[in-house]
Amino acid sequence: MKTQRFSITWFGVLIAGMSVTTGMTVCAADASPAAKPNIVLFLVDDMGWMDSTPYGSQYYETPNMKRLQQQSMRFTNAYAVPLCSPTRASILSGQYSARHRVTSASGHQPAAPADASPYPARAPANRPLIYANSKNYLDLDLDTLAEVLRGAGYRTGHFGKWHLGLSQEHWPEQHGFEVAFHAEPSPGPASYFSPYGVHANGVPSGKHHVGTITDGPAGEYITDRLTDEAIRFVESHQNEPFFLNFWHFAVHGPWGHKEEYTKRFADKTDPRGRQDNPIMASMLKSVDESLGRVLDTFDELGLTDNTLFIFYSDNGGNTHSNVPGSRQMENIKPGHPKWGFVQDWKKWAGDQPPTNNAPLREGKGRIYEGGQRVPLMVRLPGQVQPGSNSDAIVGPIDLYPTILQVAGVEKPRRHIIDGESLLPVLKQTGRLKRQAYFTWFPHLIPAVSVRQGDWKLIRRFEPHPQYPEVRELYNLTDDIGETHNLADAMPQKVEELDGLIDQFIRDTGALTPKPNPDFNANSKADPTGTSASSDTTLGLVARNCELVKTDGAIRVVGRGRQPFLGTAQVKSDSPLTLRLRARSTTGGEGRIQWKTVGQDTFLESGQVIRFDLSAGASWQDITVQIPVIGRTSVVRLYLPAEESVVDVQSIDFRDESGRGKSWDFSAQTTPPQR
pLDDT on residue 13: 40
pLDDT on residue 505: 98
pLDDT on residue 337: 83
Instruction: Render 188-244 in DSSP notation, one character per residue.
Output: S-S-SBSS--EESSS--BTTBEEES----STT-BHHHHHHHHHHHHHHHTTTS-EEE
Distances (CA, A) of 40 to 79, 166, 168, 241, 504: 19, 25, 25, 11, 31
CA dist 111 and 131 (Å) reads: 18
pLDDT on residue 153: 97
pLDDT on residue 536: 67
pLDDT on residue 566: 92
Read off the pLDDT of residues 128-150 as tens digits, 9 standing for 90 and up.
Answer: 999 999 999 999 999 999 999 99
Residues of the chain with pLDDT under 50: 1, 3-34, 525-534, 671-674
pLDDT on residue 535: 52
Read off the pLDDT of residues 293-334 as tens digits, 9 standing for 90 and up.
Answer: 999 999 999 999 999 999 999 999 999 999 887 767 776 788
pLDDT on residue 331: 67
Instruction: Tell me the H-state helices in 512-600.
Output: none
Distances (CA, A) of 609 to 388, 589, 637, 649: 57, 11, 10, 21
Helix (H, G, I), strand (E, B) or coil at 172: helix
pLDDT on residue 670: 52
Angle ∠(128,134,138) on CA atoms, nearest 5:
165
CA dist 237 and 228 (Å) reads: 15
CB-facing half-sphere around the CA of 504: CA atoms within 13 A: 24
pLDDT on residue 669: 58
Helical (H) or strand (E) element with 580? strand 576-584
CB-facing half-sphere around the CA of 2: CA atoms within 13 A: 21
Q: Is the dihedral of CA 170, 174, 175, 177 positive or negative?
A: positive
